[in-house]
Structure 1
Amino acid sequence: MKILVMHGPNLNLLGRREPAVYGALTLDEINAGLGALAAGLGVEISFFQSNHEGELVDRLHQAVEKEDAVVFNPGAFTHYSLALRDAVAAVGIPVIEVHLSNIYAREEFRHHSVIAPVAAGQISGLGGTGYRLALRAAVELAAVGRNKQCSKE
Structure 2
Amino acid sequence: MALEKNVKSVLLLHGPNLQLLGSREPEIYGSATLLDHVATVRKAVEVLGWSLTDMQSNSEADLVAAIHDARQNHSAIIINPGAFTHYSWAIHDALSAYNGPIVEVHLSQPLRRESWRHVSVVAPLAIGTIAGFGAAGYELAVSGLSHYFQSQH
TM-score using structure 1 length: 0.91
| 2:32 aligned residue | 25
CA distance, structure 2, for counterparts of residue 15 and residue 78 of structure 1: 20
**Counterpart mapping for 1:1-153 below 5 A:** 1-145=8-152, 147=153
After superposing the two structures, state which structure 1 stretch, 40-49 or 54-63, moved more. Answer: 40-49
Cα deviation for residue 141 of structure 1 reads 2.5
Partners of 2:135 and 2:9 in 1: how far apart? 20
Count matched residues.
146
d(CA) in 1 for partners of 2:149, 2:12: 14
How many Å separate the matches in 2 of 1:37 and 1:119? 20
Pick which of 39-48 and 6-15 moved more: 39-48
Q: Quick check: 1:85–1:115 contact (8 Å CA) kept in 2?
A: yes
2:101, 2:17 → 1: CA distance? Answer: 24
Q: Which runs of 5+ in 1 are unaligned?
A: 148-153
CA drift of 1:140 comes to: 3.1
Measured in 1, the distance between the counterparts of 2:88 and 2:22 equals 25
Deviations 1:24-67 (Å, cap 9, x if unpaired)? 00000111111111111111111111000011001001011111
Rounded to whole Å, the distance in 1 between the matches of 2:149 and 2:101 is 7
Between Structure 1 and Structure 2, which shows a larger proportion of helix residues?
Answer: 1
Identity %: 44
Counterpart residue type for residue 104 of structure 1: L
Whether contact under 8 Å (1:16, 1:24) holds in the other structure is yes
The 8 Å contact of residues 89 and 119 in structure 1, kept in 2 or not, is answered as no
